[in-house]
A and B are shown apart, each in its own frame.
Chain A
Amino acid sequence: MGQWFPKVVHILKADGSALPLIERPIVRMFLSGQAISEKALYLTKKGKTVPVSITVSPIILDGRPVGAVQVFRDITVDNEIDRMKSEFISLASHQLRTPLSTIQTYAHMIDDDYMGKVNNEQRRALRTILGATNTMNELIGMLLNIARIESGRITVNSKRLNTSALVQDIARQQSIVASNKNISVQLRLPKQAATIKSDVLILKEILLNLVGNAIKYTPPDGKVILAVKEHPDTVLFMVRDTGIGIPKASQERIFAKFFRAQNVIRQETSGTGLGLYVVKGLVQTLGGSVWFKSTEDEGTTFYVSLPKIYRESAALRASPAEL
């Protein structure tokens, strides 16, 4: 007692690296006056590390923080349960995908006349089957991604990629859905394409999700703009729509798991509330950040900023608490 607290309470960042004094939750709480809750590692006297959740709440007197209550909770068991849950989702998803692949492959084969010529009515039925299996597949993919993001098992395969070519590819893939609603998808690309070193599949998934949302939540005859801007160390992707927008009250929680905005639920547009949660996790996996600006009934713009060169140490591991 009566000792300088950093000498008594030793904590490290959740990834095991040193936590500078200025970044300690209790110091940040005094600087901001706001309660803070986050994960860290507690270093015991014997030098063992224990994963903990730290909550620091200010004691306010005359509007100023004069003290603090700091609570450390051992989350070893929570982490273990999280890991088991992720493993379970991963396993279950693979088991679900195997029969789904069989259904899809054979439906495609019939559709491609491998088993003789199909008539128009049969073809319509086959396309319905394929549409439904695609939806199910996307959902399983989403669950798999969540399991990987939460268990830190996502692997980044970093290679040089041309951002303009990638964005054009995304626009092409989404053009059928967009034209069904008479939505024009426009590209704003720099004169000279920006090349970055990152994971093409992960980036594709991020942008497909955002563009897919933009089209889904934009009424017919609207507009979706996909833009790329190059900065000295980063590349900025923008997905702008003239859609229904995100109500102010829903904006704070838009990246939360299973969260769906009120105006979306009202319209019964199908969705799981997982897309943006996955987007945020994937963007963080690539060491970038994602944010948005939105006005209800006018439209939304999502921004994704990525480092030009992916570095493993720069990538934040997304923990559920951050999302």
Chain B
Amino acid sequence: MARILVVEDERDLNAAYQMILKKAGHTVDSALNGQDALKIAEKFKPDLILLDLLMPIMGGLEFLRHYDLDKQTDVKVLIFTNMENSPEVNEAYNLGATRCIIKSWTAPQSLAKVIDDVLAKKAA
């Protein structure tokens, strides 16, 4: 099982994802924006980051620019957004995100499954 950092500004959704991932047996920590996520990631050392894109203070793209995935090659980033077909998603891939899924299309069970798939993959 993996260490997963949930970065989502909507508290209700953040709590829901934590619940789903804990139930699937993962160790979970959470942040409400990119800035907090940078601090928490440093100590928590996640295997995977579940990252929203639109957040106050620091959004997902800004977080990726600071986090520098080139140096964190073991960490996978799963973008969780409602902005399909958008330039932001493309930019997230350019910054090293492993995969992108659409929030409102994803049921809890499939979220847990996607996470297993991403974790099973070698670093992108």
Contacts and interface: CB of A to CB of B under 8 A. Distances in A.
Interface of A: 94, 97-98, 100-102, 104-106, 108-109, 112, 114, 133, 137, 141, 144-145, 148, 153-155, 157, 199, 201-202, 205
B99 interface: no
A104 B20 contact: no
Pick the 10 closest A-B CB pairs, nearest first: A97-B82, A108-B107, A101-B103, A155-B87, A105-B16, A102-B12, A101-B104, A137-B104, A155-B90, A108-B108
Interface residues of B, number: 24
Contacts of A141: 84
Interface in B1-36: 10, 12-13, 16-17, 19-20, 23
Given A98-B82, A104-B104, 13 more contacts: A105-B16, A105-B108, A106-B12, A154-B85, A155-B85, A155-B89, A155-B90, A157-B90, A157-B93, A199-B85, A201-B84, A202-B85, A205-B85
A112 B107 contact: yes
A114 B85 contact: no
Contact of B54 (A94, A109, A154): A94
A102 B16 contact: yes
Interface string B78-108: 0000111111011001000000000111011
Question: Main SS of chain A's interface residues?
Answer: helix
Nearest to A102: B12
A148 B13 contact: no
Contact of A114 (B20, B84, B90): B20
A71 to B, nearest CB: 36
Interface of B: 10, 12-13, 16-17, 19-20, 23, 54, 82-87, 89-90, 93, 103-105, 107-109
B108 A148 contact: no
Given A101-B104, A201-B84, A114 B23 contact: yes
B39 to A, nearest CB: 25
Given A97-B104, A155-B90, A201 B85 contact: yes
Given A108-B108, A112-B108, A94 B83 contact: yes
Contacts of B13: 98, 101-102, 105
Contacts of A199: 85
Contacts of A104: 104
A44 to B, nearest CB: 32
Contacts of B17: 105
Contacts of A108: 107-109
Given A105-B108, A109-B108, A114-B19, A98 B87 contact: no
Contacts of A105: 13, 16-17, 103, 108
B101 to A, nearest CB: 11
B59 to A, nearest CB: 12
Nearest to B112: A112
8 contacts: A98-B13, A102-B12, A105-B108, A108-B109, A148-B85, A154-B85, A155-B85, A199-B85
B104 A153 contact: no
